């Protein structure tokens, strides 16, 4: 019977086993333990591994097969959503309220109990944000934050972590902004991690893990921060015209 690898807090960042050693059930469980240091997190993402666990559980690391992704040109919106965005007065901002976005993503959802964004996880991603690796895409209505998403950008890959909407279509607007950044060449891939019907409706697909890694790993080279975010507000309606 397959067993997962246990990592110690003092183990080096690259102490993960090969992703091929991940369990089939539960799908993609690879390792447990270790820590959420920036070095370990950045290494893990570049190897197709991410942390996901509930409060009270040990730190769990995953690399599911297949992998859910959005590729350039695949994102699409319904006509109804496009009409909504054209009329919307919402605006997009970037990296102005990272802490608020991750706090909102960690809030209760009607579709689930609790949250996987634990206190330690939120602290680790705020640290990555301060270091320039983690980013927030924010949807604002006046001075009120009504939706957004956050994730990690390494090279030309955006690793999406979570998104949230307090108003209809807000998270779709945030995702639209990333899709346009893929279309213009800033990103070559958006990692969505785990398949959902909502993501499929927007154009996401699944790739075998081996194919995902063969596409993702070169796009992470060189290992650099992504800094080409708009400095001011962006109208979502303008993105539809691009």
Using the Cα atoms of residue 121, residue 126, residue 131 and residue 135 in order, give the sign of their dihedral: positive
Residue ending a domain, choose from 65, 83, 114: 65
38 with 93, same domain: the answer is no
Same-domain pairing of 30 and 15: yes
Indicate the number of domains in the chain. Answer: 2
Taking residues 94-116, what's their average pLDDT? 77
Q: Is the dihedral of CA 189, 193, 195, 198 positive or negative?
A: negative
53 and 75 belong to one structural domain: no
Residues 6+ apart with CB under 8 A from 61: 7, 16, 29, 30, 31, 32, 34, 44, 49, 50, 51, 52
Task: Say if residue 144 is in the same domain as residue 188.
Answer: yes
Q: For residue 8, what are the CA distances in angstroms to 5, 35, 179?
A: 10, 8, 38
Q: What are the tens digits of pLDDT across the range 55-84? A: 889 999 999 999 999 999 999 999 999 999
Read off the pLDDT band of 242 (50, 70, 90): low
Q: Per residue in 108-153, pLDDT tens?
A: 654 443 357 899 999 999 999 999 999 999 999 999 999 999 999 9
State which of 18, 44, 65 marks the end of a domain.
65
Range of the domain at 29: 5-65
**Same domain for 188 and 211:** yes
- Residues 88 and 197 grouped into a single domain: yes
Residue ending a domain, among 65, 93, 116, is 65
CA distance 227 to 186: 10
pLDDT classification of 241: cutoffs 50, 70, 90:
confident
On whether both 78 and 52 belong to a single domain, the answer is no
Same-domain check for residues 101 and 150? yes
Together in a domain, 156 and 225 = yes
**Close Cβ partners of 165 (under 8 Å, ≥ 6 residues apart):** 139, 146, 147, 171, 172
Note the pLDDT tens digit of each residue in 171-217. 999 999 999 999 999 999 999 998 899 999 999 999 999 999 999 99
Question: Residue 128 is part of a domain; what is its CATH number?
Answer: 3.40.630.70
How much is the pLDDT for 159? 98
Q: What CATH number is given to the structural domain containing 19?
A: 3.30.70.3550
Task: Assess whether 158 and 180 both reside in one domain.
Answer: yes
| One domain, residues 205 and 226 | yes
Domain match, 129 and 224 both: yes
Q: What is the mean pLDDT of residues 153-172?
A: 96
């Amino acid at each position: 019977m397959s067993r997962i690898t246990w990592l110690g807090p003092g183990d080096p960042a690259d102490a993960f086993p090969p992703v091929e050693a991940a369990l089939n059930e539960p799908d993609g469980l690879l390792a447990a333990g270790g820590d959420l240091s920036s070095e370990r997190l950045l290494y893990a993402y570049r190897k197709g591994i991410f942390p996901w666990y509930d409060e009270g559980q040990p730190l769990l690391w995953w690399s599911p097969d297949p992998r859910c992704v959005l590729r350039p040109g695949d994102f699409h919106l319904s006509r109804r959503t496009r009409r909504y965005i054209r009329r919307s007065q919402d605006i997009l901002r970037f990296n102005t309220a990272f802490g608020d976005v991750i706090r909102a993503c960690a809030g209760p959802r009607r579709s689930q109990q609790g949250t996987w964004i634990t206190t330690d996880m939120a602290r680790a991603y705020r640290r990555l944000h301060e270091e320039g690796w983690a980013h927030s895409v924010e949807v604002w209505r006046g001075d009120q934050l009504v939706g957004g998403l956050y994730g990690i950008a390494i090279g030309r890959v955006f690793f999406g972590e979570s998104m949230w909407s307090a108003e209809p279509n807000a998270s779709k607007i945030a995702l639209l902004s990333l899709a346009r950044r893929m279309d213009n060449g800033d990103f070559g891939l958006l990692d969505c991690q785990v398949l959902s019907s909502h993501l499929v409706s927007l154009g996401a697909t699944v790739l075998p893990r081996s194919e995902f890694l063969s596409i993702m790993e070169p796009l992470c080279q060189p290992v650099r921060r992504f800094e080409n975010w708009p400095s001011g507000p962006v109208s979502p309606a303008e993105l539809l015209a691009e």
